[in-house]
Amino acid sequence: MEFSLINTQIQNFDGDCVVVFSNSEADFADANIQNLIELNHFESKAGSTLLLNLVDGFKAKQVIVLGMGDVANTAKNYIKALTVTSGVLNTIKSKSVMIEALEIEGFDEKWSHRIAARVLQNANYEIEKVGVEQKIEVIENIAIQSSNDNAHELTQGHAIASGMSLARHLGDLPSNICTPTFLADTAQSLAKEFNLECEVLEEADMSKLGMDSLLSVSKGSIEPPKLISLSYVGNGDAKPIVLVGKGVTFDSGGISLKPGAGMDEMKYDMCGAASVLGTMRAIAQIQPKINLTIVVPTVENMPAHNASKPGDVVTSMSGQTIEILNTDAEGRLILCDALTYVEKFNPKVVIDTATLTGAVIVALGKHHCGLMANDQDLADDLIAAGKSSLDTAWQLPLDDEYDELLKSNFADMGNIGGREAGSVTAACFLARYTQNYRWAHLDIAGTAWVSGAKKGATGRPVPLLTQYVLDQI
Ligand code: BES
Ligand code: MN
Ligand code: ZN
């Protein structure tokens, strides 16, 4: 699918289909279309569509009218409309499409170009089924009406969609395919494709570095653990932005075994890893003047005769000791060693993203990511990037009072803080390893995938992270 800008009247476009937007309270500029809207009693509700064939005065054979709700064109309705458009275009097998220009409340034209390319490309994502061939894309080119000829934003939107598609693909793969080794191979092929620096540490390397906290999670699994680093260098030797992604390719809970219902969804416990790989893909495609490093600690969390047991004490790479009170609080055990390891990159900032706690779903549901940080400017920048990419984060507190809940009689800290404020105590645990740099944590347990009939990965927070990185240029 290719995107371009086109400076022509909708009536003169001679491709397959023209897409136009309609408000419930304003007349449409083209009288023929206005008549057909009335004839069909089309109410222009947000997300509704009307397909018109052979409209007088139009060179294209088909016109799709998209409902945008009330007069103000909101960003949310724009995304809704574009998503359904993709479905209709595929059904009517349109190859070349023109989309009418539209002003969105609170955003500029560049934003709407970037979002259009991202949403339309992303709507074409298809779950790769084992043993089933992927369908070929129907839509070949989409031209967006504009008097501007700078298509840079379309490239960005397309790159973000391709990062999201990688993240969704990795998330949706079953854990018998998407293992830590598979994630390492994925990183290596990204490195080849985009000329990035890649390093993969094996179990023995990590053991030498003293990463016994990370290794305590993987030791009950037959799958070897990996620590992946991947760097994009676009700005000489400037300090890099470092993104760390939790890569638990399956979280059974370990000896503190999870209940059976819905346990399949713990294949998604590597969505933090998937999102930083996706962000790297987007950035490597856009090629901005910035340095970005991603680090992925990846393991499988399984019960076994040689697995960690509740009450075991381990020493992390930082030297701090941890009493593993619950083997299901494993994300923080792998992240803490990765967060110590990243100091070697002399990071400008460190942002980790992790499906860390069920508690964040109780607190925020499935709309916002949970955000916690040791630096308010960084938190504010991430909130802003979330708003402009429509991939939002909501900040939770990180006061010392919460940190006290991690007290242990047998080590420097326990790995759980009890029933209250589970997302915050998890972040307090991580904060003990991030004192030497500006750091933020995104808990994406509620936003990385959807359950139920439409079960699947969302590709979040690739848009937020990519936007944040681009905002730093
Ligand atoms: N991967 C889970 C968090 C999770 C749970 C994400 C449900 C999405 C849906 C994490 O490793 C975990 O098990 N966390 C525990 C922590 C608890 C033992 C302190 C949790 O949230 O129950
Ligand atoms: Mn767990
Ligand atoms: Zn987990």
Q: Is 444 left (phi over 0), alpha (psi -120 to 50) or beta?
A: alpha
Residue nearest to atom 9 of ligand 1 (CA): 358
Measured CA to CA in angstroms, residue 88 lies from 78, 92, 270, 291 at distances of 15, 6, 33, 40
Which of ligand 1's atoms lies nearest the C-alpha of 357? Answer: 21
The response to whether residue 89 sits with its C-beta less than 6 Å from ligand 1 reads no
Same domain assignment for residues 91 and 113: yes
Same domain assignment for residues 206 and 341: yes
Q: What is the mean pLDDT of residues 305-329?
A: 99
Which of ligand 1's atoms lies nearest the C-alpha of 360? Answer: 21
Whether 93 is in a domain gets the answer: yes
Which of ligand 1's atoms lies nearest the C-alpha of 359? Answer: 21
Same domain assignment for residues 99 and 209: no
CA 225 to CA 202: how far, in whole Å?
7
Sign of CA dihedral 352, 353, 359, 365: positive
Whole-model pTM above 0.95? Answer: yes
Measured CA to CA in angstroms, residue 45 lies from 68, 77, 286 at distances of 6, 9, 36
Residue nearest to atom 16 of ligand 1 (CA): 329
Ligand 1 pocket mutation, candidates 218, 256, 275, 357, criterion most atoms within 8 A of CB: 357
Average pLDDT of every residue of the chain: 97
Q: Give me the amino acid identity at 185.
A: D
Same domain assignment for residues 135 and 214: no
Whether 154 is in a domain gets the answer: no
Whether 6 is in a domain gets the answer: yes
Q: pLDDT tens for residues 392-444?
A: 999 999 999 999 999 999 999 999 999 999 999 999 999 999 999 999 999 99
Question: Which pLDDT does position 149 carry in this prediction?
Answer: 86
The response to whether residue 172 sits with its C-beta less than 6 Å from ligand 1 reads no
| Number of domain units in the chain | 2
Question: Which pLDDT does position 134 carry in this prediction?
Answer: 87
- What is the domain range of residue 398? 160-471
Q: Which ligand is nearest to the CA of 445?
A: 1
What contacts 173, CB < 8 A, 6 or more positions away?
128, 182, 267
Q: Please identify every residue annotated as catalytic.
A: 258, 332
Task: Label residue 150 by pLDDT band (50, 70, 90).
Answer: confident
Give the helix ranges, DSSP H, for 294-347: 331-341
**Residue 110, domain CATH:** 3.40.220.10
Question: What's the token pair of residue 160?
Answer: 């973000």
Whether 447 is in a domain gets the answer: yes
Q: pLDDT tens for residues 178-223?
A: 999 999 999 999 999 999 999 999 999 999 999 999 999 999 999 9
The response to whether residue 357 sits with its C-beta less than 6 Å from ligand 1 reads yes
Same domain assignment for residues 370 and 254: yes
Same domain assignment for residues 303 and 435: yes
Taking the centre of ligand 2 as the mean of its atom positions, its distance from the CA of residue 409, in whole angstroms, is 23
Same domain assignment for residues 75 and 201: no
Same domain assignment for residues 315 and 194: yes
Same domain assignment for residues 360 and 245: yes
Ligand 1 pocket mutation, candidates 246, 248, 328, 332, criterion most atoms within 8 A of CB: 328
Q: Are strands 62-67 and 17-22 parallel, antiparallel or unpaired?
A: parallel
| Whether the predicted pLDDT of 26 surpasses 90 | no
Residue nearest to atom 18 of ligand 1 (CA): 329
Same domain assignment for residues 141 and 251: no
The response to whether residue 328 sits with its C-beta less than 6 Å from ligand 1 reads yes
Same domain assignment for residues 194 and 122: no
**Residue 416, domain CATH:** 3.40.630.10
Nearest CA to 396 out of 453, 346, 441, 343 is that of 441
Tell me which of 108, 125, 147 is where a domain ends: 147
